[in-house]
Amino acid sequence: MTTTVERPRETRSQDPEMVEPRRRRRPILPLVYWIVTGITLVPIAFMVVYSFNDVPTGRISFHWSGFTPYWYINLGQVSGLTQAFVTSVEIALLSAVISIVLGVPLALALERYRFLLRGPLNATVYADIAAPSIVVGAASLSFFLSASVSTGFLTILLVHVAFNLAYVVVVLRARLSGVGTALEEAAGDLGAPPFVAFRTITLPLLLPGIIAGGMLSLAMSIDDYVITSFVAGPSVTFPLFVYGAAKVGLPPQVLCFGTIIFAVGLLAALVNGFITRRAPRAAVDDG
């Protein structure tokens, strides 16, 4: 004769792991989110819309006179504006590339190794971010004058690399902290040299962080005015041109160039988001 022992029914309330957390309604958070988003996007929306405004005076006006693509067709009509924009783009691209090239090994060293002067170097990176722009600009100008270096394109590039490098290092260290070293150690156990393991494993894992750091460098560089104004010399960047032209009235082409910058940045952000989402899926498929 067999005796069956009836097991008590398990309910969700008895098993804490099966208890689904209740979603707490916080109506204030979505409201704050949309307010902040609106404050950020409204000026950008005005810039995009009024870049197509048919103003007869050739100066920016927020009185809508009609739609026209004339200002985009004639971007080079304003003397000096196109050259200033090209100069800003060149400096932004060069500073972003140099910052990434220097930032990847520096982030790896600070995140994964213990060495002499690691603490002061780490503090310098964060001090570069926390320092006010006017202090960085004045200190940079004093250094170049004491070193008898003529201000111009080169000094702007050096200063932009200096502050972009700190942002790239912070972004890459955040990426490295969530990656770990298990895959690299496994590659080493299988006989892969350190450079091969870095090229085939570490670098692809760092790619979203590298793209994010590059985008941040581009954004910080192309719109910097305060630091650049100290070390620009005869060179004129886009922000410097806009500040000087604002005294007599801005041409609509300024809004066109601003819209182009925003569109390129938005496209780069979408591409980075696509790569970031695809990387974990590819890792799961490979596994």
What is the distance between the alpha carbons of residues 75 and 256, in angstroms, rounded to a whole number? 8
Q: What are phi and psi of 66, to 5 degrees?
A: 135, 160
Position 12 scores a pLDDT of: 47
**pLDDT value at position 232?**
93
pLDDT digits (tens, 9 = 90+) for 138-188: 999 999 999 999 999 999 999 999 999 999 999 999 888 877 777 777 877
Higher local confidence (pLDDT), 3 or 214: 214
Give the span between the Cα atoms of 212 and 224, in whole angstroms: 18
User: pLDDT tier at 92 (50, 70, 90 boundaries)?
Assistant: very high
Q: Report residue 156 as tokens.
A: 């702007």
Distant-in-sequence, close-in-space partners of 18: CB < 8 Å, separation ≥ 6: 12
Structural domains of the chain, with CATH: 78-247 (1.10.3720.10)
67 strand-pairing partners: 53
pLDDT for res 162: 92
Tokens of 84: 């200033």
Contact in structure between 124 and 162 (CB atoms under 8 Å): no
Confidence band of 21 (pLDDT split at 50, 70, 90): low
Sign of CA dihedral 250, 253, 255, 257: negative
